[in-house]
Amino acid sequence: MSTFYDHFERHGKGLANRVTHYCPGCGHGLAHRDLAAAIDELGVQDRTVLISPVGCSVFAYYYFDVGNTQAAHGRAPAVALGHKLANPDAVVISYQGDGDLASIGLAETISIAQLGIPITVIFINNGIYGMTGGQMAPTSLVGQKTSTSPEGRDSAMGQPLRVAELIAQLDGPVYVERVALYDARQRTKARKAIAKALRLQVEGRGYAFVEVLSECPTHLKVTPDAAEAWIRTQMEPVFPLGVKKDSMVEPWFRRPPPSFDAETVLALSGAEPTQDRAEGPARRHRLGARGRSLKLAGAGGDGAQTAALLLARAAIAEGFDATHIPSYGPESRGGTSYADVNIAEEEVLNPSAAEPDVLVAFNAPSLARFASTVPEGGLILYDSTVITEPGELPERRRVLGVPFTGIAVGLKQPMVKNLVALGALQAASAILPAPRILGALREVLKHKRAALPVNEAAFAAGQAAVAQARA
């Protein structure tokens, strides 16, 4: 049995060097021997990573001469998954007891079983908490006396949880079996099941789960042979043995090694090498020391955020610093949608637009809410199709109503009202040169070329509307 350490150095010196910490007659030792035998037979000792749980088998790493990671209570399958994805060639085993797997870690147990990624889970079900001293487990039997069910478990404390059946009805696992250790025949089956569960992982076929009905003589407060008998006569009727699921699955789990190819990484990041850029060097369009602060306010679907992003992109392409912060109402559709944009020659100091130089309002509530935040000399642009009666607006601000929606509807594409607004904004404020904004538009639509003409037309129409208003 080379998969056990020759000496259990982590357990201690002297006798501890050779004997386990388990109580006499404890089923854990048998399951350990079966697991070690399976690792040996498959010749995967070097590749094996064993996840020790919290519970009596917390010290499994004392014994198994494999890579060992000890996990938090209930989290062994999550830790196992992390290991398996980090190194798909590793043979990863999550070894857990009933408190760990079926109580505190139930969410991890089920969700990771359902992922179906090949790991092997060995579930030691002895119907009681061992390490903490004999409390009720999710798998304790009805009527079973434990230190937290002193009068016996009743149904109000929950019925025993049949985990193998639970796991078997998931689509993720390929193999689920419940075995026992109480006699020679069962032990042979247990050994075979554990070996098979491991083989399915080694062959890349899938997730396998073996539930082992195991003796805890100490907390059953009986001799080991009485514990064997208890499992046979009391536990087995509630937890029927046998194969619960066994799908024929061809090996499928293969992962390419991670790529560190610079070009791929740059392409995925959306970065383009400088020499590929079509546009010329940035022209410095003076903004003054304070830069500009803009707020675009409307409802979800007005396109305020897209317009804001186009402004930020255009400003950055121009050689300025720019920021955009979106804020939404709680509704994911149709709620308020505000965008703060700040543009500065060197560095945007304040990314919010509490006092915007420019307000673009797509609806009446937005206009009412933010018009008064625009300082004197500022610009207020609003959609005059939607806001027919702008009401009283603060004085000494330039106020311009442009039919964003009307123009967009005229172009048979109501969605482009934000581009109408941008065109109007550009013409009325000249914060950024028009070609720069159109360049940003082309960049954003580079994979949706068909949408470009109507957006460009909307932009031009917005500009024209302002020019007309001036004339």
Partner 1 sequence: MPATARERPFLEPAYCKGCLRCVEVCPKDCITPGTAVYPGTGLIPVELRLDACNGCGLCIAACPEPFGLRTQSETAHVEHAAQEYLLQDPTELFGSKIVEGSPIRERPAKAIPLQECAPLVLKGTYASAIGAVLAGCRHVFGYPITPSTEGAELMAKMLPKLGGSFVQAVSEVAAVNMMYGAGAAGVPSMTFTSSPGFSLMLEGISYMIGAEVPGVFVNVMRGGPGLGNIGPEQADIKLACRGLGHGNTHALVLAPSTPQEMLDLTMEAFALSFRYRNPVVILGDGYLGQMTGAVRLPSRMFRPGLPSWCVWGDRAHRTNLICSIMLAEPDLEAHNLRLNAKYAAICAEEQRADAYRCEDARVLVIACNTPSRMAKGAVEAAREHGIAAGLLRPITLWPFPIDALKELLPHVEHIIVVEASPGQLEDEMRLALSHAGIQPPPITSVRRLGGMLPQQAEILAGIRESQEVRV
| Structure token digits, residue 70 | 């000890």
Q: Does 53 bind ligand SF4 (CB under 6 A)?
A: no
Specify the residue, 23 or 115, whose C-beta has the smaller distance to ligand SF4: 23
Q: Does 71 bind ligand SF4 (CB under 6 A)?
A: no
Q: Does 83 bind partner 1 (CB under 8 A)?
A: yes
Q: What are phi and psi of 34, to 5 degrees?
A: -65, -40
Specify the residue, 61 or 370, whose C-beta has the smaller distance to partner 1: 61
Helix (H) or strand (E) holding 423: helix 417-429
Q: Does 250 bind partner 1 (CB under 8 A)?
A: no
Please state the separation of Cα 228 from the chain's center in Å: 43
Smallest Cα–Cα separation from 29: which of 64, 76, 71, 2? 64
Classify residue 59 by its DSSP letter: G
Q: Does 338 bind ligand SF4 (CB under 6 A)?
A: no
| Residue 219 touches which member of partner 1, ligand SF4, none, C-beta under 5-8 Å by kind | ligand SF4
Specify the residue, 85 or 430, whose C-beta has the smaller distance to partner 1: 85
Q: Contact, 241 vs 173, CB < 8 A?
A: no
| Residue 70 touches which member of ligand SF4, partner 1, none, C-beta under 5-8 Å by kind | partner 1
| Sole binder of ligand SF4 in the list 199, 219, 244, 313 (CB under 6 A) | 219
Q: Does 217 bind ligand SF4 (CB under 6 A)?
A: yes
| Residue 82 touches which member of ligand SF4, partner 1, none, C-beta under 5-8 Å by kind | partner 1
Specify the residue, 28 or 189, whose C-beta has the smaller distance to ligand SF4: 28
Shortest distance, position 271 Cβ to partner 1, whole Å:
4
- How many angstroms separate the Cα of 144 from the Cα of each of 26, 179, 250, 468? 19, 21, 43, 88
| Residue 216 touches which member of ligand SF4, partner 1, none, C-beta under 5-8 Å by kind | ligand SF4
Angle ∠(132,136,141) on CA atoms, nearest 5: 140
Q: What are phi and psi of 354, to 5 degrees?
A: -70, -35
Residues in region 342-361 near partner 1 by CB under 8 A: 347-352, 354
322 strand-pairing partners:
343
Residues in region 22-51 near ligand SF4 by CB under 6 A: 22-23, 26, 28
| Sole binder of ligand SF4 in the list 31, 54, 56, 307 (CB under 6 A) | 56
Burial 321-346 (b: 16+ CB within 10 A, else e): bbbbeeeeeeeeeeebbbbbbbbbbe
Residues in region 80-109 near ligand SF4 by CB under 6 A: none
d(CA 87, CA 67): 12
- Note the residues at the interface with ligand SF4 (CB under 6 A): 22-23, 26, 28, 56, 126, 130, 216-219
